[in-house]
Structure 1
Amino acid sequence: MKHVTYADKALFLDDDSADWLMEYARALGSATMTDTVTLRGIGMDGNEVEATFLLNHSTELITQTTQSGLQGPKNDEAVGYMQEQTRLILTPPPARSVDDPLEIS
């Protein structure tokens, strides 16, 4: 579980969600791109929340480890999305001519 601070708000996210949120924000920032990601977490009042993060080159995001025993909700679909998008930004597929036929396997 990690404590995440964004835009004067704080919440707890599972480790994968927090780590990939930071990595995806870094990748978007380096490419001067923007995206939004919605993640489920635990708010400071202890209730489950959904938070949508606007990520761009000026995102200010802090993740901290915590000793909390809380178990946050998983965000497997959102984490998979951030992983795939980060991969595409950092290692884009090679360019193809519009005249090249698509290969279907």
Structure 2
Amino acid sequence: MRIIIYAGDEYLTGDDIADALLDYSRALGDDDRAEIIEIPVRNESGEVVSAKFLIGPASQIVTEAVETPGAELVDTELVGRLRHLTASIERPTSAPLASEDVSNFEIDGAH
């Protein structure tokens, strides 16, 4: 498990969730964007609740590994979605232009 330290508070979540949140936050910062992301965390009573984080260029997030009793928090769907979003920022995809679109481009002022 990992503790996420964010805005002076601590949030306990799973290793993969914390890593995916950090990676996405870094990618958003590199792209000068911000997003609100909701992740599962364990509260002081041991219940699993959700927490929302505003992540992006100004985010200051730290994680720390901790040993805790109980099962690791796992959300494979969330981790997959965050990894996909991170990859879409780091390696954007584009469709090739049709040949008729290319023929209308001006290069160095030439027609």
Q: Flag whether TM exceeds 0.5 (same fold).
A: yes
2:74 aligns to what SS in structure 1?
coil
Q: Which runs of 5+ in 1 are unaligned?
A: 101-105
1:24 aligns to what SS in structure 2?
helix
Q: Distance in 1 between matches of 2:79 and 2:35?
A: 14
Match of 2:68 in 1: 68
The structural deviation recorded for 1:75 is: 2.1
What do residues 66-92 of structure 1 show as CA deviations (whole Å, max 9, x unaligned)? 122232432222211110010010011
Alignment of 1:82-97 (within 5 A): 82-97=82-97
1:86 aligns to what SS in structure 2?
helix
TM-score (norm 1): 0.83
1:48 aligns with 2:48: yes
Matched pairs, number: 99
Calculate percent identity across the aligned residue pairs.
26
- Kindly report the root-mean-square deviation, in angstroms, between the aligned alpha carbons of the 2 structures: 1.7
Q: Which runs of 5+ in 2 are unaligned?
A: 100-111
The structural deviation recorded for 1:46 is: 2.8
Give the structure with higher Rg (CA): 2
The structural deviation recorded for 1:5 is: 1.0
Post-superposition, which runs of at least 4 consecutive aligned residues in structure 1 deviate over 6 A?
Answer: none
